[in-house]
A and B are shown apart, each in its own frame.
Chain A
Amino acid sequence: MVSESGLEGLRILLVEDEYLPATEVADMLDALGIEVIGPIPDLEGAMAVAGRETFDGAILDVNLRGEAVFPVAEQLLARNTPFLFATGYDEWVLPERFRDFPRLTKPFDKLSLERMTLRMLERSSRPTEAG
């Protein structure tokens, strides 16, 4: 059964380096009616997919096999695709320019995932301050 989340039919990239949490989040997204791109476990793979595919948003684990996910975030920022961080790190550990982005604190449940995904999409639909 697909819930009435307003998220049905969206395509979301999922980047997460651990197998079990990755499959669990993918299942949650699936239950929200979201089509999952990935999950992708490493930076190289994520960069490739981010450069190749089109999608509505991305959920990014911060630490990928010892590498930071920020190059992917930069790429998404450049092409105006919204994203959120899913991490166990406190926000001050993130580089300053990424501290204001939506963040899901691990572990999280389906409801938090749904809310934060909605917030991520709302943010992107607002006109940019610089614009």
Chain B
Amino acid sequence: MNTGIPLQYFLILATVMFFAGIYGFLTRRNLITILMSVELILNSVNINFLAFNRYLYPHKLEGMFFSLFIIAVAASEAAVAIAIIINIYRRFTTINVEDVNEMKY
């Protein structure tokens, strides 16, 4: 089972995406961008799952199913998060996270 592209390439891509996501998640102040960063993280994990599944255990399907689950969960999570963001916007008329700090002590 060899497609020509080595496994490491996938892993590098996934790592880059993962840390790009982490970086975005930590530095951005816009809620929507944060959400997008989270999606990036999730998708990098997906790539990892698929690549490992394909290269290490080509006759099994667990990795595929797991990434399918992650996609489904990510979709619902995005829906919930956007709903929350809309509500936050209605209440504070901003989606900057630093202005939304009523829960601090």
- Say if A and B assemble together: no
The interface of chain A, by Cβ under 8 A from chain B, is none
The interface of chain B, by Cβ under 8 A from chain A, is none
